[in-house]
A = this chain, B = another copy of it.
Amino acid sequence: MPNNHFKKGELYSFITGKASIAIARRLQKKFNTSGLNLTIEQWSVLYHLWKEDGISQQELCNATFRDKPSITRLVDNLEKINLVKRVPSEHDRRINLIFLTKQAQKLQEETMALAENTLNEALTGVPAEKIDVCKEVLQIVYDNLK
């Protein structure tokens, strides 16, 4: 029994991810008006470094769901604005370990608060059970396709 539950108009918004684009844009605006000179993509890299500092670019690829060239350039730009530093691994000279600078460590609290804020705005009026179902469905979609 196939899942033919998508009328044409709905198909489009599922594929283009209108909701998550709207969330990302709202968060970007919050960054901008807070004077944070940071793109959402850069933030998404810092996000994983705040969870575990000093991981490799390859691990950042896996965590952020991006390919290697994308991470190379994001790290390039983060290095330029002094938020991370590449440190060659001593055990494997192919690997760069990426470390947060002090300046980046200071950004965690403020940006995470803005992110939680944004999600609360986005989910206003949505009951908790439905949020859980939605998270579950999106996780299955991701697992089905990866």
> A residues bordering B, Cβ < 8 Å?
2-6, 8, 10-27, 40, 44, 47-48, 51, 64-65, 112, 115-116, 118-126, 128, 130-142, 144-146
- A19 proximity list for chain B (CB < 8 A): 17, 138-139, 141-142
Q: A124-B144, A126-B3 are in contact. Are A14 and B137 (CB under 8 A)?
A: no
CB of A126, distance to nearest CB on chain B (Å): 5
- A141 proximity list for chain B (CB < 8 A): 19, 22-23, 122-123, 126
Q: Does B5 lie within 8 Å of A132, measured CB to CB? A: yes
Q: Does B123 lie within 8 Å of A5, measured CB to CB? A: yes
Q: Does A145 lie within 8 Å of B133, measured CB to CB? A: no
Q: A6-B116, A116-B6, A123-B5 are in contact. Are A18 and B142 (CB under 8 A)?
A: yes
Top 8 closest pairs, chain A to chain B, by CB: A17-B20, A19-B138, A134-B137, A22-B145, A3-B123, A19-B141, A133-B133, A17-B17
CB of A93, distance to nearest CB on chain B (Å): 31
- A116 proximity list for chain B (CB < 8 A): 4, 6, 11
Given contacts A3-B124, A14-B135, 5 further A-B contacts (CB under 8 A): A3-B123, A10-B135, A16-B44, A16-B64, A22-B142
